[in-house]
């Protein structure tokens, strides 16, 4: 009798929980469905996301190319999608009890990415970064970029608050603070920046558009324009990536999409990542 009551109570609690979840989110579905909206919000917490159905993508180890990830971390990424006919927005959510947004030697930052085949076609390139002559487009979001886009400063003390620096040669007289001469001299010690490859430091956007034709070939896409925003709570990351809708993905049509998540506290970086295979993506027709 007592056992029966306990089972009943447990059932009642589970039903309540399930009910409250259902009120917030439409049911989990078997593919990513981008619902039509009139405007694309940048805030991951915007109420519009409640209208988009959620797809729970199971994540796989990147165990195809060396160096690989050999121990699994993030098991699932929950994805919602919206489109206004020009932009497609994805919201990725995953559990992560620790925020890793500080770069440094031996450190990795939390990141995620959305990948689409460049051509909307039946014949798909490899989901592992595409293939020669069959490129994929990737939009990458990084937690450290988010911190910089949200106002983190460009001084070493913004990363190492206790850093003590005696002197930088470009900060010595007669060079004046903020002068062109000072900038020119400081850039001499930053060849990557001089080549337009500043990976870290203050930036406006936390995302980057890329193309790839196979592992190790990733390069920035000349015509970019994506945007994004990530918010961390103790439940993990909620990240919005807004990028251009593939031109030939008409209303009611399907293409494929893949996702990747890097868990910073697990040392995941570059090819050491959790990823999905191709997942069907439907652009739901306007009602």
Q: What does the binding site for other proteins look like in residue numbers (CB under 8 A)?
A: 63, 65-70, 103-108, 154-156, 159-160, 163, 165, 168-170, 186, 188-201, 215-216, 218, 267, 269-271
- Could you give the 3-state DSSP secondary structure of residue 155? coil
- Minimum separation from the CB atom of position 156 to other proteins (A): 5
Rounded to whole angstroms, the Cα distance separating 24 from 35 reads 16
Minimum Å gap between C-beta 273 and other proteins is 11
- Least Å distance, CB 224 to other proteins, is 16
CB 220 within 8 A of CB 226: no
Which three-class secondary structure state does DSSP give residue 28? coil
Q: 111 or 255, CB closer to other proteins? A: 111
Q: How far is the CB of 22 from other proteins (least distance, A)?
A: 41
Nearer to other proteins, 63 or 235 (CB): 63
* 260 versus 281: smaller Cβ distance to other proteins: 260
122: exposed, middle or buried (Cβ count in 10 Å: 0-12, 13-18, 19+): exposed
CB of 178 to other proteins, least distance (A): 15
Which residue has 């015509």 as its token pair? 223
Q: What is the DSSP letter of 217?
A: -
Nearer to other proteins, 12 or 190 (CB): 190
- DSSP, collapsed to helix, strand or coil, labels residue 126 as coil
DSSP state of 152: -
Judge contact between 237 and 92, C-beta under 8 A.
Answer: yes
Cα–Cα separations (whole angstroms), residue 257 to 86, 125, 265: 17, 11, 26
CB–CB of 113/140 below 8 Å? yes
> How far is CA 79 from its chain centroid?
11
* Residue 24 dihedral angles phi and psi, to the nearest 5°: -85, -35
CA angle 237, 146, 160 (to 5 degrees): 105
**Rounded distance, CA 71 to CA 57, Å?**
18
In the bound complex, what is the minimum distance in angstroms from residue 169's beta carbon to other proteins? Answer: 5
Cβ closer to other proteins: 8 or 189? 189
Shortest Cβ distance from residue 285 to other proteins (Å)? 39
Kindly tell me which of 187 and 248 has the beta carbon lying closer to other proteins.
187
Nearer to other proteins, 133 or 162 (CB): 162
Indicate the residue among 82 and 138 with the shorter CB distance to other proteins: 138
Q: Closest approach of Cβ 125 to other proteins, in Å?
A: 18
């Amino acid at each position: 009798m007592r056992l029966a009551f306990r089972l009943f109570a447990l059932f009642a609690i589970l039903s309540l929980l399930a009910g409250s979840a259902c009120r917030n989110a439409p049911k989990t579905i078997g593919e990513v469905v981008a619902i039509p909206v009139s405007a694309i919000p940048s805030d991951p917490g915007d109420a519009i996301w409640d209208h988009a159905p959620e797809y729970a993508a199971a994540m796989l180890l990147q165990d195809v190319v060396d160096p690989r990830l050999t121990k699994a971390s993030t098991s699932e990424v929950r994805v919602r999608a919206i489109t206004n006919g020009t932009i497609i927005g994805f919201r990725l959510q995953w559990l992560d009890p620790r925020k890793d947004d500080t770069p440094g030697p031996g450190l990795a930052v939390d990141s995620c990415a959305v990948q689409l085949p460049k051509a909307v076609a039946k014949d798909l390139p490899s989901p592992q970064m595409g293939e020669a002559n069959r490129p994929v487009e990737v939009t990458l979001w990084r937690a450290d970029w988010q911190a910089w886009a949200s106002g983190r400063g460009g001084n070493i003390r913004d990363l190492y608050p206790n850093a003590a620096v005696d002197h930088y040669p470009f900060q010595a007289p007669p060079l004046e603070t903020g002068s062109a001469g000072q900038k020119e001299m400081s850039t001499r010690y930053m060849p990557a920046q001089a080549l337009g490859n500043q990976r870290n430091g203050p930036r406006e956007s936390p995302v980057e558009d890329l193309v790839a034709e196979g592992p190790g070939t990733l390069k920035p896409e000349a015509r970019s324009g994506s945007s994004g925003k990530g918010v961390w709570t103790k439940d993990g990351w909620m990240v919005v990536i807004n990028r251009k809708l593939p031109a030939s993905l008409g209303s009611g049509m399907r293409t494929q999409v893949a996702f990747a998540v890097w868990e910073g506290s697990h040392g995941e970086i570059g090819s050491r990542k959790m990823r999905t295979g191709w997942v069907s993506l439907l652009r739901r027709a306007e009602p």
